[in-house]
Structure formats: C-alpha cells, structure tokens
Amino acid sequence: MRLWQIAVATALPLCASLWGSLAQADADVGIVRLTPDQYQRAIHDIFGPNVQVGDNQVEPGVREDGLLAVGNRKLTVGSTELERDETLAREIAAQVVDPNRRATLLECQPKSARGPDDACAARFLARAGRLLFRRPLSAVELQRYVATQDRLAQQRQSFYAGLAAALAQMLITPDFLFRVEISNPDPTQPHTLQLDGYSRATRLSFFLWNSAPDGELLDAVQSGRLMSPRGLQQQVDRLLSSPRLADGMRAFFIDMLGFGGLDQDPGFDTLSIDTNLYPNFTPNVRADAQEQTLRTIVDQLLNHNADYRDLFVSRDTFLTPTLAALYGVPLPRAQELGGAVPWVPYRFAPDAPYVGLLSQVSFLALHSHPGRSSPTRRGKALREVFLCEKVPPPPGNVDFSLVQNTSDPRYKTVRQRLTVHRSAPMCAGCHKITDPIGLAFENFDTAGEYRSTENGAPIDASGELNGQSFDGVGQLAEIIRDDPATTSCLINRVYAFGTERQPTPQEHAWLTSLQAELSKDGVRWRELVRRVTLNPDFYTLPMSSAPLSTAVVH
C-alpha cells in the first residue's frame, strides 16, 4: 500500500462504505442540477473569491408552481452546457494550481514539479473533493482521481498539469454538477424517503446559503451529530447567524419575484423598455432595479429583523443616482457619504407615491409592455407572485382591439378601455381578477415613473380587492400586508424552494399551523427558515415518481 493510500484509509474510515452502502436495494439516488449561482458560490467558498468563474449560462429553466427551483428537478446538463462546464473546469483548475495560488490552496509540495506525486495529490484531492462533492470520497474514487493526476503528470511532465486535470475531472462529474440526494425509506412514514446525512447537509446549506456545505457542516455529518435533533439545531443556528444567510435569501427572492422571467413576462435579462420613450430607463436601471429590491429585502428582514408583511408598506429603501432620476427624488452622492458603493439608504417622504415593494421599479417595469403600462400584467403578477393564486391564460378568439386603441377619443385612459373590454363576457371572468388591482398601479408608467394623468385625463387608481376598496398603491399595499394569503404564500414558496418540490398534504397541514403562529408573532425570516429547517419532513422526499405538481401555462 502506498503512503497516500494509508493516509486516506486511516483519515477517512467512513468513506469506503459510503458508495458501498448504495448497493442496498432500497437506497434511492437522485440528482438536482446546481444553478449557475450555486456553482459560482461553491467555487468561491472552496477556492477563494478571487478565482474567476466565467459566464456559465445554463439551459432555460422550467417554472413550476411559481418557482424555477421546483422545475429544476426536471433539468439535466445538455451538450452546450457541458461544453461550457468543461471550459469552466479547466479555467478554474488552472487558477487553483497557478504559481501565485498553489502555496495557499495546496497543502503540500510535490517531490518534483516535473512528474506525478500521488501522495501530495491525494491529500489535495481528498480535501477539495470532499468540499466539491459535499461528502468524503471513497478510497476507490480518490484513487481514480489520483490516477488521472499520475497519468497526465507523467505525460505532460508536470505535477501541476496532472493535478489540474484531476481537479477539472472532478468539476465535470455528476458529483459536482448535480446535488446528489441519497435517501432510504422512512421507517416512520409510508411512501416517504429520508435523506442521508450528507444529503441533508447539502439541502440545508444550499437552502440557507445558496452554496455548498462548509467543512464544519460536513464534520457534523461525519460524526453523526447532524442526525440528532440537537446537532441539527446547533448547525441551523450556526448557519442562521452567518452573514451568508443573505445569499440564500437573495436566491429565494430572485426566484419568487420572477426576476428571471414569469410566464410571458420577460425577466430582467430580456426586459425591453424603450429608452427613446422612457429616457430615464437607462441600461443600468435593469441591474439597479433588481438590486434595489433585494438590498431592501435583506436590510429589512435580516438587518432589522422586520416582518415580511411590512415590506409592502415600508418607505425605506436604497437608491443609486440612476434610480433616483427615475423616481424623481434628489439623492446625495454615495461618495460624499463615504460609501464604497453607489447605494444610498433612502426613505421616501410620507406623501411620496412610492410605498413598499409594489411601487418599486423591479415590479412595475417587469410587468409592463415595452412602451405602455399594463394593469392586467401587474394585477396578474401581484396575484401570482405575492398571493400564490393562478390566473388562467386568455382564451383564443378574442378581439382586444378596443382595449388598446389609444387614439380612440372616447377612451382616453387604460381604465376606460379595460372597462369596455371587461364588458365582454368571455373576458370578464379573468379580467375581474387582474384588472381592478392592476389599475392601482396606473400612477406609474411603464418605467415606474410617477404620473397623474394619461392622455390629459386624470388617472383614477381606485379599486377593490377581496371586498376592500382602496385608492392608489399605498392603500392597496395595506390590504396586501393584512391578507393572510400574503403570509401563506411566502411560507409555502419558501418550503417548496428549500425542498424543490411541492409540499405533501401532511406538510401542508404543518405549514398552515406555522402560518398561524407566525402571523401572530411576526413573519420573520430567521424564525421562518429555522422552523422549516428543523422540521424533519424538510429532509424527506415522496417515494412516488409521479409528477408532484401542476405546471406553467404559456
């Protein structure tokens, strides 16, 4: 036995049995693809934030039940992506073994830089592999990567070339590109699978941090502590107290808010608002608008431990000069405030029209037409994104021309035109759902800028939701804040995001009771995700391979 084999055999007594245990007939092995963001975060966490990760766009996601995370279970790695992944893997590996980095990232020096060194390679590959695969490598696996190093180091007469090849190989295996979920039948529940320790750690870490488990979390699995309620609680509390909690929260809200696209509404990557018509909607606005919303949410929910529901009525936010121009407010320059970033905390005046998430550009512009506002799209998005309702698609054979003929002197405002449209019986059903609340946003044009008239006629932003009447987005926001559906929607989405599936009926019941408690005590992020991640069902999968959910309607 070679030296490194002895080292591995003694240091990692559990790993040899890891894959061996899969031979059990009832063990279930599933895969879920890493998102581009998760890929990048994992690399930065393992090899340092200075390692460049190139653009790694992946195939279009599938949104199911309001979340790309749920549709993620359907995706594989196609040829185009694998081609890209292989390039990324080589670029990353080259950086890791770069002369400037190898001293810090590699724990040993080879006997000779001009040939293989299996022992040194094994030490590095065992440690990096454990973090990349989120579990220790078995002896057989490790030997495989060490052998790659050996063969290619000999051929290229370079230890580092061989080591980089072995690392690149790890980075394109299913073990890294997918999160592997290993589960066994749950002895306490029929038709249910329970994740094993490493799969639990992976789910927990990607949910809370949007990144791979760190060494300490893996240690907790290896020692068996994570499987005990107390051990789990310790790790959950540790993860919750980290600033990286913001990363997981951002990933969730990017998905829930549809920043990547929602049915036929574009995402920010393809949003096309005409700059000729809306000069303040400069290209920077797209990035800034998303960041404004995310920054506001993180600040409120994490830094101030605020109630999620208050996001709808809060006047506190962050702005850049670009956004300030769009919102029509003066903004002190960030540099003058001594800030390193162009973001400045800003509180809208009590009489300003901007209140809460729903009056932010990220919502208003994302659910508009390129050159016109759309009460229908905004109303539909409000229902679907924040209240988890489903608005049916329009039927065929509809004549929309009356709605949109903006030159018809009889119907100057969108409200007037939509009222005519709603008089058609086949349209009335759905437009009654979307338009009366969408019209609340009519004081904001396509780009999100305030206006008080349209075509010279004053805008009427009144309406009603669930029997409560309102005038303007400020009053609508209060109704949304107090609507129990707002809380239940968030809780259900959070749970589905973390498990990447729809809750089972049993889980629904649990979520309902959680909703009752949180509604009373405050819907606070840390408490919500703590309760979710301490729930044993969070680490389960239904055994059936039947589809779990209903689907997107185009």
Nearer to other proteins, 22 or 329 (CB): 22
- Tell me how far apart the alpha carbons of residues 89 and 95 are, in angstroms, rounded to a whole number: 10
> Given CA atoms 134, 135, 136, 142 in this order, what sign does their dihedral have?
negative
Nearer to other proteins, 57 or 284 (CB): 57
Give the phi and the psi of residue 521 in degrees, each rounded to 5: -90, -15
| Interaction of residue 225 with other proteins, rule CB under 8 A | no
Give, as ranges, the residues between 116 and 155 that touch other proteins (CB under 8 A).
144, 148, 151-152, 155
Nearer to other proteins, 13 or 60 (CB): 60
Residue in 368, 531, 545 with CA at minimum distance from that of residue 447: 368
CB of 428 to other proteins, least distance (A): 17
Residue in 318, 282, 273 with CA at minimum distance from that of residue 298: 318
- Adjacent-strand bridge partners of 541: 193
**Alpha helices, H only, 97-138:** 102-105, 118-133
Give, as ranges, the residues between 340 and 399 that touch other proteins (CB under 8 A).
369-372, 393-398
Choosing from 60, 215, 224, 536, the residue that interacts with other proteins (CB under 8 A) is: 60
| Interaction of residue 453 with other proteins, rule CB under 8 A | no
Nearer to other proteins, 264 or 468 (CB): 264
Q: Which two tokens stand for residue 290?
A: 């998303």
Give, as ranges, the residues between 169 and 208 that touch other proteins (CB under 8 A).
169, 172-174, 177-178
Binding piece for other proteins, criterion CB under 8 A, among 261-269, 289-297, 450-458, 459-467: 261-269
| Interaction of residue 552 with other proteins, rule CB under 8 A | yes
| Interaction of residue 79 with other proteins, rule CB under 8 A | yes
Interacting residues of 205 by C-beta distance below 8 A, sequence separation 6+: 134, 211, 212, 213, 214, 217, 239
Q: Per-residue x/- mask for other proteins, residues 18 to 37, rule CB under 8 A?
A: -x--x----xxxxx------
Distances (CA, A) of 459 to 278, 359, 441, 443, 462: 19, 16, 10, 7, 9
Distances (CA, A) of 366 to 158, 360, 374, 551: 52, 10, 10, 22
Binding piece for other proteins, criterion CB under 8 A, among 42-50, 59-67, 288-296, 502-510: 59-67
Helix, strand, or coil (residue 547)? coil
Nearer to other proteins, 59 or 237 (CB): 59
Give, as ranges, the residues between 269 and 288 that touch other proteins (CB under 8 A).
269-270, 272, 274, 276-277
Binding piece for other proteins, criterion CB under 8 A, among 82-90, 215-223, 346-354, 493-501: 82-90
| Interaction of residue 529 with other proteins, rule CB under 8 A | no
